[in-house]
Chain A
Amino acid sequence: MAPLAGRRAPGPAGTEASLIARAQAGDVGAFERLSGAYADRLFMLLLRLLGDRGEAEDVAQEVMLRAWRGIGGFRGTSSYFTWLYRIAVNEANRALEKRGRRPPSVPIGPDELRLPGPATDDPSRQAEFNELRRALARALAELPPELRTAVVLRDVEGLSTQEAAEIAGVSQAAFKSRLHQARLRVRAAIGDEALVTSGG
């Protein structure tokens, strides 16, 4: 499971709750500190969902603007991180719809994927593994947005089903169904033989 290393709330000097209260009162500096703690991770999420750096930068700015405008309505029923991520997923989906649901123009490439390497120096095994990485990148890029979102939130980001479902804006049952459909499609695209021999 992917660790939540990039997920760090603001430090003791400005607890998250106090930053939220200050941001809600119109303190834009507090908002930047609060949201800045999640900025890198949020940007990576957008890169994974959109597959295009320029578009991810544009959407990231829009996410922050929407969060700033909406923070007055944040009631703390979910964590700030979940709330912010949900805005990001919605904005990414909006961008993909605007784009006409085409696959990412520049899918996240194999060089940027950080799969654990095979425990061998065998060149043929390494070649198989690299091929798996390329196939995985292609298969993820070709998933419809809602299925790609499910895989990214649950498997790549390592969020719990509950949190991922909340961010995706669907019930846990619906989220599990999406995740299962997504995995089946990726599995079909890559093939069982390649998965078991290269990734197992």
Chain B
Amino acid sequence: MGVPSRSDDHQWSQQHLSHYVEGELGPRARHRLDRHALGCVDCGRGIKAMRALVYAVQGLDGLAGVRAPATIFDRVRLATSGGSPSAQDA
């Protein structure tokens, strides 16, 4: 197998940015991307942007105070027509 060209490296790196920021690349693949990104403004910026994106989306970790509606088991209760089992449990 020949040595990948710079353009091969670039395309490959762009396709693996998401896996890179998740730490899912193996050591050789990570090294390949690291080495390419050192000399590639696009990929260096891509890594920063992808990290920022994942961080921002991970921050959407809750909808404040959201609770399931009390009606969530209504269809189950209707189907079983057994009254309100949760009321018995309470």
Contacts and interface: CB of A to CB of B under 8 A. Distances in A.
A115 B60 contact: yes
Contact of B53 (A40, A69, A199): A199
Contacts, number: 144
Interface of A: 1-3, 6, 27-29, 31-33, 35-36, 39-40, 42-44, 47-48, 57, 60-62, 64-65, 68-69, 108, 112-116, 132, 136, 140, 151, 155-156, 158, 161, 176, 179-180, 183-184, 186-187, 190, 192, 195-196, 198-200
Interface size class of B (residues with CB under 8 A): 35 or more
Nearest to B55: A199
A29 B89 contact: yes
Contacts of B11: none
The main secondary structure of chain A at its interface with chain B is helix
B61 A2 contact: yes
Nearest to A27: B85
A130 to B, nearest CB: 12
B13 to A, nearest CB: 13
Interface of B: 15, 17-19, 24, 45-46, 48-64, 66-69, 71-77, 79-80, 82, 85-86, 88-89
Contact of B85 (A32, A43, A196, A200): A32
Given A32-B89, A64-B75, A68-B76, A39 B48 contact: no
A196 B49 contact: yes
Contact of B59 (A44, A116, A186): A116
Nearest to B51: A200
B55 A196 contact: no
Nearest to B56: A199
B3 to A, nearest CB: 25
